[in-house]
Every structure is written in C-alpha cells, then in structure tokens.
C-alpha cells in the first residue's frame, strides 16, 4: 500500500491512533471484540500483484473499528527502488480506520475477504496488547524482506504467537513449490514484471519451500487459515469462526506492459545475429559495432547482478545468470574491439564461449532463468564462436 502523505505527517497520525488502540485494549469488553485477518486481492499497481494482508480489530460495543497494516511505505523516498532491490527498505506498521482501508481497495476494485478468528477473551487481550506495543513510535519501522518478513508474515506472527495453544494446519501443501513458482503464479499475464523478478532471483529461489515460507503470500495464508485448528491440551477448535467477502471487487483496468514478450524480443535478436553473421561471411566484413553493442549491454546488466551479491535478500545473492551478465565485457570492450578492427581475435571470445556454455549447462540442473535468457545465450554463443572463423575467412581474402 502506498503512503501518499509525507512520512512525518503519517507518523503523527499513527501516534494519535495509537492512543485509540491502547484505549481499546485497556477498556474493551473482549466478548464484543472481533479480530480478523483481511486478505486483499491484487490490483493494477505492480507492487500489488501479490495481494495484501492486514488485521481488523472491531469492537462492536463501542463501534471502534481499526485496521492494522504492516505494508506501509513511501514510494517517494530517495532511491526507493534501489533500496528495495538491495534489501535495505524499511516498511512501517500503519493503523487505518476500517472505512478508510476499504475505501482504498474499493477504488482499485480489489476484493477483500475477512476471516474472523475464533479467539478467547484472553487471546484477544494478548493480541491487542501486542498490537499496542508494536504501534509505539520506536517499534513502528521494520526492515522489510519480500519472502521472509513482509506485511503478511508480520500479521500472521502477531496473531498465531499470542494464542493459548498451537496452530495446526490441516491443508496439504505443494512440497515442490518454490519461491519462483509462487511468484510466477502472481505475475501471470505480466511477462515483463516476471522477467524482472526472474533476472534478479538466484539459486535459492528454486529450492522447495516449507509451509511457513509459502505463507509469505496473502492468498496462501488465507487458505492455510481456512483449514487450521488451535490445539490446546485435549481441546481443539477451528482457527477461523467465519469467513466472509466484505468487498466483492470488480472489473479492473490493467495497465498494459510492453506489448512484445521478452522471449519474442530475444528471438528477434537471434534472427538479427544470424542475418548479420551471414552478411559478414558473404561480404568478408567484420561488423564489430554489433559486438560492441552486445558487450556494453551485457556489461551494464552485469553491474546490477554483481551488486546483488551484496544484497540483504538471500534469494538473489547467488545467481547463475551472472555468467551471462557480468561487468567484465565493459572493461574489455576497448581491447576486444581494437583487435577486431585489425581482424584479430582477442582471448576474451574463448572465455565468453566457456561462460555461455557453463550458463546453458548449469541452467539445466540448478536454476530456472528469466524468460528468453537461453535464446539470448544462443545469440551470444553464435557471435562468440564465429569470431575466430570470421577472422580466418577475412584473412584468406587478403591473402
């Protein structure tokens, strides 16, 4: 959820609402208090493709109706995207009135499902006390992690960790599901958003996930809660008392991405590579400008993947796509092209051929690459392997 007011104005409003939360937790008749998990469907903004989770605290006796939301951020903060990629983004807990919260999702035509928890008065008091403590100014901000510590996992943890018993999930999970496959489910129909995710995600994103890890997605947590029970000694009760759709959603106008898929773009690039290679051999001419363009583009993309090694997101640190995208071509562009102009073969072409082959082979066993990356690798491989043969072909003409 995007914070549209200034950060400091928002902190002030939260501080005011904190008093209301503490007042509820101190004075409410907990028999009249309903605590629910809210699950919101995606809308057209890129950051919303995965949905959202919040906690509703509704005192029917007093009419106090608040929503606790761990997904507050200010997109206008300096270098927000860069900080997000490197895992140094701070998110905040926010408190809205229920009407304001619903109004935002009604505007986006997103559905909102409410799951009222089947809690005792003591459990409600414990949760409200934890929320009040969490809403203090010194506790509001947390270091966000997309897979391991996000708005959904925060809401889950504050609920299940304050129950008088153990939550057991009865629904079976897909033991083969990975972080990447679950992200793919959310980005269906958004190929370029998926491409960007897959370009940054590394080896760890392709490992099977546990039940707890799969609950990072709002819809997964909603399904898990639907079939969960609270076990305390010999007693067992359903975690969810009732589930209702409080906002049905509606038809959304989805903003169109670039109309051509990534794989199509790379197929076009492969076609250009083959045509240029044919022309080079027919005309006995080295089109070194194309090599320079490929080296610069791969090198610039490689800077991003190299910097990912230092990210706080563990799923992006080890990424085999760095074999294809790395900064080395930027440093070697001048000597490589200089030799090409003189119809000589630089040793880099042999190294790059090895890296590309390693990329293709290792990708068969260890990591799923972004869409079209294997096609791009084939283009680069054709270009790299052909350099020695082309220079020999041009040399025979001169002789």
Which has the minimum average pLDDT: 77-86, 202-211, 224-233, 257-266? Answer: 77-86
DSSP 3-state assignment of 56? strand
Secondary structure element (H or E) that encloses residue 387, with its range: helix 373-398
DSSP 3-state assignment of 125? helix
- The dihedral built from the CA positions of residue 293, 295, 299 and 305, taken in this order, carries a sign that is positive
175 within 8 A of 207, measured Cβ to Cβ: no
Q: Where are the extended beta strands (E) located within the chain?
A: 33-40, 52-59, 65-72, 90-97, 112-117, 141-143, 166-169, 228-232, 235-238, 240-247
Q: Give 7-64 pLDDT, tens digit per residue.
A: 434 444 444 455 455 454 555 567 889 999 999 998 777 767 899 999 999 999 888 9
| Residues recorded for the chain | 399
Pull the structure tokens for residue 111. Answer: 């559905």
Q: Give 304-330 pLDDT, tens digit per residue.
A: 999 999 888 889 999 999 999 999 999
Q: Give 353-371 pLDDT, tens digit per residue.
A: 999 999 999 999 999 999 9
Rounded to 10 degrees, what is the CA torsion of 279, 285, 291, 292?
-130
- Whether the pLDDT of residue 108 is over 60: the answer is yes
């Amino acid at each position: 959820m995007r914070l549209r007011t200034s950060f400091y104005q928002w902190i002030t409003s939260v501080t005011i609402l904190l008093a209301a939360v503490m007042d509820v937790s101190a004075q409410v008749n907990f028999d009249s208090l309903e605590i629910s998990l809210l699950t919101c469907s995606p809308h057209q903004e890129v950051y919303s493709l995965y949905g959202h989770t919040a906690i509703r605290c509704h005192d029917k006796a007093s009419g106090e109706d608040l929503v606790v939301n761990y997904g507050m951020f200010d997109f206008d903060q300096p270098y927000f995207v860069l900080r997000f990629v490197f895992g140094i983004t701070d998110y905040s807990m926010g408190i809205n009135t229920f009407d304001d919260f619903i109004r935002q999702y009604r505007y986006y035509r997103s559905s909102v499902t409410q799951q009222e928890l089947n809690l005792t008065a003591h459990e409600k008091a414990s949760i409200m006390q934890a929320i009040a403590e969490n809403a203090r100014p010194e506790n509001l901000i947390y270091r966000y992690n997309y897979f391991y510590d996000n708005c959904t996992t925060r809401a889950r943890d504050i609920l299940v960790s304050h129950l008088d018993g153990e939550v057991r999930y009865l629904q079976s999970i897909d033991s083969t599901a990975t972080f990447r496959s679950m992200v793919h489910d959310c980005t269906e129909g958004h190929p370029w958003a998926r491409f960007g995710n897959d370009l940054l995600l590394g080896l760890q994103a392709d490992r099977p996930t546990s039940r707890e890890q799969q609950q990072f997605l709002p819809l997964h947590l909603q399904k898990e809660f639907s079939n969960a029970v609270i076990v305390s000694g010999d007693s067992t009760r359903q975690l969810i008392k009732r589930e209702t759709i409080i906002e049905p959603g509606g038809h959304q106008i989805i903003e169109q991405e670039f109309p051509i898929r990534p794989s199509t773009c790379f197929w076009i690039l492969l076609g250009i590579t083959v045509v240029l290679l044919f022309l080079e051999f027919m005309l006995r001419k080295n089109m070194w400008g194309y090599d320079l363009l490929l080296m610069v583009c791969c090198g610039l993309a490689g800077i991003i993947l190299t910097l990912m090694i230092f990210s706080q997101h563990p799923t992006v640190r080890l990424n085999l796509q760095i074999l294809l995208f790395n900064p080395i071509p930027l440093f070697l562009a001048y000597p490589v092209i200089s030799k090409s102009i003189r119809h000589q073969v630089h040793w880099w072409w042999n190294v790059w051929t090895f890296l590309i082959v390693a990329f293709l082979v290792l990708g068969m066993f260890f990591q799923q690459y972004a869409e079209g990356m294997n096609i791009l690798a084939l283009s680069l491989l054709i270009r790299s392997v052909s350099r020695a043969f082309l220079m020999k072909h041009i040399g025979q003409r001169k002789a």
